[in-house]
Structure 1
């Protein structure tokens, strides 16, 4: 006999949309949903190390109040009683430590709640905890000296990606249906691909951040807040809740008239897609190319026209890479300088030995970049933008792999070679960061599994503020090639 109020009785955990509907109908209580989330965290976290902070007392109190609201017939939000997770970097809630993955900030506790978390709370969501991130989000693998390494639920010895690796692993493990992330070089899409979940990087400004002391931190490179989910519909619902202008974010924009959930029901028989297996500049592993080739056929089976097209960037990969790294390192150094001036904490002084060595290196490089180099990177960004937009002027979407390889060994920066060719292990296995130079929205969609059973993602790129078309194509692919049954079960992860 199974308990109908227990959301763990299904073969796979419910999506946020299904769970919210079940809560509204009285089939599942918010208290049972939160209890089940903590049960799954307890069963999996020793193996994958996705969660680093829990707020059990507060979450259970909120779940009890949410259960009472259902019983008394109070108005319910769209995510009423749904457990969610934050990223231990740039989504935070009052009273729960937010460490940025740094031993220096082990005891830092925010006194406020970030904009998107407030919006999720207003919709009824319940924060159960926060997830692991590399120190200040500087790597594509989720490891740090404070909490260690996050493993991939498909194989805990393999990387979960980064920097939202804890969030992606939490979702893939079925602990929560939604976990928040952020993306400055692919940090939503990288772990989405590695863990076989769905991750959408919205156009910068669509989801407000209202960061301080630098309200313009998202502009260079283009950084976006978003989330990781198992289903496209859940990401659409998440975007419906968190998108829209905020008066304290000077680059935020209105999404008036957008209906992201409705977009997931659109047909794609009039859609045109440009398919570039390597963006014309990257090396990729053959099994990645083969898997994304098959994904292109899935879009064709839905009626879309898919043509083989490479963008013309008019600059080399090395020049593009240099621009992204200059901008990213400069932003990290500016953040460190703000911490020094406002809090008196000198990360490269008294605390250097506490930092991840690669993070310390990035800070030192950032301090060395001059203003001319920073602005010249914007010239390269313009060229990258034009190369991508030239394609998107002719096609609705651009399709590429998300990553050049399946997940590699956890705790390492990246592969030294791709298809036998030497690469920069920091960045050259990522086909994600050109969209952070340009600001185009992009999503990683589960495309299949490697020969060793590890996830491979396909990246869909759209014109600025055309998230609805990305969601429509993603949902069409999900209907024709569902990936829900590919996830390992909780017992398998915990063994």
Structure 2
């Protein structure tokens, strides 16, 4: 049986297998992760809430369910009947496995849900989000809620509630945002799986900053049953996705989270074999490599790591060719087009918060970060004409990416243009040149950020893998091939 400290180094898939076979109990697994949180989170600051008592109760329930299953199977065997896989009630693919939830969107009824806001430090969710229900139905045990900037409004994780979250790879660096708590918790071994949400890179930015794997699925595959506005995530193509240490764990999580839901008007009934893609060869894949999406100021330190990683995809069998994207815009023009929908989206989030809870954030300047207040001010400057002009640029970018993917199976780019963002560094509200992520929220394509390695200063770098719409399995296949060629588990202590 694995010793408790070793359990937190195992993948979610292996943990689930060991729990099912009785090699370890769900209680032992949860206790090991709670101990890890106690040991590491004072330094990392990933968790807003730790569901200690609830997780231990759910682990005990998970152990009882397995004991009842095994007793039923033993009874069948004693009766002389054949024991099959179906004998006794089977358990889900994540039975007994801890999962952490981003404290924005991924509500669990009865658990504190703050939106990253100090004003909501005592707020408790009265409903459970669809993706959380699906994870729990698959047997996952919620171990806590993870830190996020207020309303997920920026690409770093820092707030007035609990402060900044550090990258476990280098605690002088920020974990990235807005799913920074989730990525840091996974990288530090405080949970094997965490949820994130992505409106401009909020899964992929922290995945890159923390050296873990983050997957933004094609828009519409993972349902969002948010209320009171079910249509609010369309302009910026916001979607939830998993953050894990292995590609296999992400595939398992996606197989659980994805699928149509009647409460989501954007849900699409597309069936994808997420786990089946993991062993697919990529010998016939043609991959386009854009070192900077033509205009992003990617540093030499990042590009050096990315070049080596792209070469590994070629070693794994793919044909990789450098390309010019030829979208025809300057960085300034793209940034201007990005600001209107994003800032007005933050205005929308604040408005819905006021409608639901009667709290106007502008009335509490001492309890709301300056960056969020600044973003709200910026959002008020834009009108429908600005959104319309932004849509023209967005359409051009969509058509350009589609043209690339008509010829190639995948497009790869750096996730971030730099890898040295300090724990308390403050980015300007218009710092669109840092992440190469948000154009793919415009387009809705599936994108993963995979660990590419470290700079010569030991800072983590991420590689984006962009697939055709609804070809999420191609992204997983290439990611798995890269992981086999250049394993990244050495990044985790």
TM-score, structure 1 normalization? 0.94
Q: Deviations over 1:295-323 (max 9, x none)?
A: 11111111100001021112222222122
Contact 1:314 / 1:387 at 8 angstroms: preserved in 2? no
Contact 1:413 / 1:426 at 8 angstroms: preserved in 2? no
Contact 1:142 / 1:149 at 8 angstroms: preserved in 2? yes
SS at match of 1:459: strand
SS at match of 2:38: helix
Distance 1:388 1:119 in 2: 32
Contact 2:339 / 2:430 at 8 angstroms: preserved in 1? no
Which residue in 1 is equivalent to 2:355?
Answer: 341
Distance 1:90 1:339 in 2: 12
SS at match of 1:362: helix
Match of 1:377 among 368, 383, 390: 390
Q: Deviations over 1:145-188 (max 9, x none)?
A: 11101011112111111110110000000111101001111010
Which residue in 2 is equivalent to 1:104?
Answer: 119
1:87: Cα distance to partner?
A: 0.4
1:343: Cα distance to partner?
A: 2.9
Match of 2:440 among 424, 435, 441: 435
Would you say 1:44 and 2:58 are equivalent positions?
Answer: no
Would you say 1:285 and 2:299 are equivalent positions?
Answer: yes
Which residue in 2 is equivalent to 1:421?
Answer: none
Query: In the TM superposition, what are the counterparts of 1:439-458 in structure 2 within 5 Å?
Result: 439-458=444-463
Which residue in 2 is equivalent to 1:270?
Answer: 284
1:114: Cα distance to partner?
A: 0.3
Contact 1:315 / 1:383 at 8 angstroms: preserved in 2? no
Which residue in 1 is equivalent to 2:465?
Answer: 460
SS at match of 2:437: coil
Q: Deviations over 1:105-140 (max 9, x none)?
A: 111111100000000000000001011001111111
Which residue in 1 is equivalent to 2:413?
Answer: 400
Query: In the TM superposition, what are the counterparts of 1:37-186 in structure 2 within 5 Å?
Result: 37-73=33-69, 74-186=89-201
Which residue in 2 is equivalent to 1:237?
Answer: 252
Q: Deviations over 1:372-406 (max 9, x none)?
A: 21222111110110111111111000010000111
Aligned residues, how many?
474
Would you say 1:304 and 2:300 are equivalent positions?
Answer: no
Which residue in 1 is equivalent to 2:336?
Answer: 322
Distance 1:142 1:297 in 2: 32
| Structure 1 gap segments, 5+ residues each | 417-423, 490-495
Match of 1:248 among 263, 288, 307: 263
Match of 2:423 among 377, 392, 410: 410
Distance 2:170 2:178 in 1: 18
Contact 1:397 / 1:463 at 8 angstroms: preserved in 2? yes
TM-score, structure 2 normalization? 0.94
Contact 1:6 / 1:32 at 8 angstroms: preserved in 2? no
Distance 1:43 1:335 in 2: 35
1:425: Cα distance to partner?
A: 6.6
SS at match of 2:235: coil
| Structure 2 gap segments, 5+ residues each | 70-88
SS at match of 2:66: helix
Which residue in 2 is equivalent to 1:474?
Answer: 479
Distance 1:368 1:329 in 2: 9
Contact 2:147 / 2:165 at 8 angstroms: preserved in 1? yes
Superposition RMSD in Å: 1.3
Distance 2:438 2:315 in 1: 29
Stretch of structure 1 that moved more, 126-135 or 424-433? 424-433
Distance 1:412 1:152 in 2: 13
Which residue in 2 is equivalent to 1:362?
Answer: 375
Which residue in 1 is equivalent to 2:74?
Answer: none
Contact 1:134 / 1:144 at 8 angstroms: preserved in 2? yes
Contact 1:5 / 1:32 at 8 angstroms: preserved in 2? no
Distance 1:133 1:355 in 2: 13
